[in-house]
Amino acid sequence: MRLTLNKIVLLLSTISALIGLAFLGWILITLIAKGLSSFHISLFFKDLIDGGLRNLIIGQFIIAGIASLIGIPIGMLAGIYLQEYGRGKFVRLIRDLSDIMMSAPSIVIGAFVYAVVVAPTGGTSGFAGSIALAIMMIPIVINTTDNMLSLVPIELREAGMALGASKYRVILDVIIKAAKVGIMTGLLLSFARIIGETAPLLFTSETSNYFSLDLTEAYPSLTVSIYNLANDPTSASRDLAWAASFILTILVLLINLVGRYITRHKG
């Protein structure tokens, strides 16, 4: 009886796992089939206005990069505060709020940034997009930093202090180093998370057909352009959208792989 039950549970969980994998495979196969047929290396060298994706890829990285420049320091410092300095109810409140923020719908964050940045400044801009992505990123970075620091044994802090180091020196010299690999991985994964986002950019940075370094105007974005191209009736646009989706997926996959590599080989 017990053995039969064991076999049934094993069978059911195997099937469920296969269903999950099947969908992942399906997505990848569709992307590769449709994306690869429209993919051409020249897409990397032409801007959207000329039928390429160069400005969109660079733009997406710049928006996400600036979001990281805002989000990583704030998130890490907040994480350090939660784990190393804060105490009591206030810390629990911030942790809870940060967790809620992590599951906030991204379109809501986009709408919020539209209301507080885009509307007052008179138009969409790359900066507004970066701010929206930074807001998405901060709770993820807080969570990662907080968790990774909590894994560092308390004895290491005491050992540092017992050598005469002040608290901030121990945190900077010892604790962050001890948690470095975990934090680095977390930062990469949070970057991978925001670089594929569309909703927060939809009405903050919008997108542009041209290459641009001016972050005060509508800014080229790969994801928003995928959305626009997919809605375009011409088949050339839709093919370009598939190629862009393919490239985006590969990029996110690569960042994830680098993150995993770091964990495995430097941990």
Which residues make up the interface to other proteins (CB under 8 A)? 87, 153, 155-167, 169, 173-174, 177-178, 180
Residue 147 vs 256, nearer CB to other proteins: 147
Supply the minimum distance, in Å, between the C-beta of residue 108 and other proteins: 39
Residue 180 class from Cβ within 10 Å (0-12 exposed, 13-18 middle, 19+ buried)? middle
- Which of 245, 121, 248 shows the shortest CA–CA distance to 194? 248
Supply the minimum distance, in Å, between the C-beta of residue 259 and other proteins: 20
Residue 82 vs 222, nearer CB to other proteins: 82
Supply the minimum distance, in Å, between the C-beta of residue 242 and other proteins: 45
Supply the minimum distance, in Å, between the C-beta of residue 157 and other proteins: 7
Residue 8 vs 162, nearer CB to other proteins: 162
Residue 18 vs 172, nearer CB to other proteins: 172
Supply the minimum distance, in Å, between the C-beta of residue 167 and other proteins: 8
Eight-class DSSP state of 118? I
Residue 19, Cβ neighbours under 10 Å: how many? 10
Supply the minimum distance, in Å, between the C-beta of residue 178 and other proteins: 5
Torsion region of 218: left, alpha or beta (phi above 0 gives left; psi -120 to 50 gives alpha): beta
Alpha-carbon span 106 to 67, nearest angstrom: 14
The identity of residue 245, as a single letter, is S
Eight-class DSSP state of 220? -
Residue 22 phi/psi, 5-degree rounding, is: -60, -45
Residue 157 vs 193, nearer CB to other proteins: 157
Residue 27 vs 172, nearer CB to other proteins: 172
